[in-house]
A and B are shown apart, each in its own frame.
Chain A
């Protein structure tokens, strides 16, 4: 079990509290490719941020590779994100001042497990594997949307995470680029044994996942495991 949550609830709002997520429990196993779908406002992104130790739950707990993220302070969660998790967001979210290569290297440099030479070599490998080898010197604004999204996947992958959390990764892409991104995820799960949890509203892409969750009003209403 690589990712687990128990009785997870989250209230949002300042004056009037709305329960966005109520009492969600979930176990994600290694090498699973999980998709989460649901109408907007169903709480799927909130769930993803909680699983990714970016947010703290109102109630319940999150275990990332056995570590209780909800018990950690801000620092501890940053360490957890650095060592266990990789994120891919809807908008590419690359740092504009840095080249493609540097964007991919930064999380590795922060984690500090590799020397800067080794981080550079590894980043090059990952970028090349995404088919972007010739673009490593470019700045993000010189790339197409699909290329940018692949760079952000490369950034997530390069730091050797156990889990990649993706929030609408194809939401901003045309269908051809969307398919490329999905193919990348599938190969990550299959070849590198990385667990992927992907929030999406595109049913076609969700159907490619090995396990499909559907959320409604802050609860998981459907949990289909295709391998079972």
Chain B
């Protein structure tokens, strides 16, 4: 490309500041929207995943769920059975992991495993005075569990330590609010199959995930076994990984090693991850459509310019400029429009993200935050610019091609221009 073509492109661009400025604005808006929407979506999603990855285990091992047993008679006769035993007693096999301590020790020796801890969970009801509230009761070994899911970090009132001595109960702040409990209150905790116990509230935690905080309470493993009526039972083992992205593979490996079911955090949160993927797809479409509109802006404006400029194209061609020069001159204009629009969009988009991040909002839903959640990723700016340039080049190709096909004689004969 010769410098004179660049010179012509720049001059023509500058000479139609208003029109080309509008095209630049179109591209710029597209890029701003791309950055802002991605920043907001990713802000929410990464915050959610961060919280999930802290408060939830990366791999959970539990006993295989039993399918409902086949009817009694069907077990002995393969053929079609018409008779039925009424009031068959259900299976009394308990869900449990046998020899949990050995499994925990074996797990901790695996590469990529940071920590593992055994626990028992189940449904229970807590009562304070006349108020009752159903909770997700987790009986933990406080010291090892804290290495898997650092609950102690989230304790806002009271303390975590007493749990290690087998005392008390730790409430999620949603649970505490709903039942009206404060630290040092004595609660009654019970379940259908176990024994009710009175426990003192030793602390209240706030994990930042409202659904968790509104349902979960922690007690010592021994207390949980008593309350749930499952002495010596460990229901699951939770594992924290070093590389969380490899959780799926680890879950499979653990299943093969110990013969129990294992679930990675991706499987546990499959609903959310699927939702996020869908959100991201929709946003991709929206942002793509907005950038396309910007591209159509370039297309419309450049086609207009090319039509107005057929005479000038004929002049350039008659004084020795090649078709390719004309093509390049218009492509360059489209390229520069999208480059300027993209860079401006990047700049303003960054400013918008910063401004949004300072916005105070009270968010309570899947995640809790006092500020607008925004994620500022350098990749957004790269994508914004790259998309803008691609759209700009594609959009200006049609006008540029048209311009390069102008036959100078047609213009000179007066058939055009």
Binding site for B on A (CB under 8 A): 45, 49, 52, 54-55, 74-75, 78-79, 81-83, 86-87, 89, 93-98, 102, 106-107, 109-112, 116, 155-156, 159, 167
Contacts and interface: CB of A to CB of B under 8 A. Distances in A.
Interface stretch (B252-260, B274-282, B407-415): B407-415
A111 B316 CA distance: 12
B409 A109 contact: no
Contacts of A74: 322-323
Interface string B307-323: 00001101111111111
Report, as a range, how many residues of chain B touch the other chain.
20 to 34
A222 B214 CA distance: 106
Interface of B: 2-4, 7-8, 11-12, 14-15, 311-312, 314-325, 408-409, 412-413
Contacts, number: 73
22 contacts: A52-B318, A55-B409, A75-B322, A78-B320, A78-B322, A82-B319, A82-B320, A83-B320, A89-B412, A93-B314, A96-B15, A97-B12, A98-B11, A102-B11, A106-B4, A107-B320, A109-B2, A109-B3, A109-B7, A110-B320, A110-B325, A112-B2
A102 B7 CA distance: 10
B136 to A, nearest CB: 73
Nearest to B318: A87
Nearest to A91: B311
A197 to B, nearest CB: 15
Contact of A93 (B14, B311, B324, B409): B311
A27 to B, nearest CB: 23
A95 B11 CA distance: 11
A87 B318 CA distance: 7
**6 shortest interchain CB distances as A-B pairs:** A82-B320, A109-B4, A97-B15, A107-B319, A55-B409, A78-B322
* From B8, B317, B318, B319, residue with most partner A Cβ within 10 Å: B319
A54 B320 contact: no
Contacts of A45: 412-413
Contacts of B320: 78-79, 81-83, 107, 110-111, 159
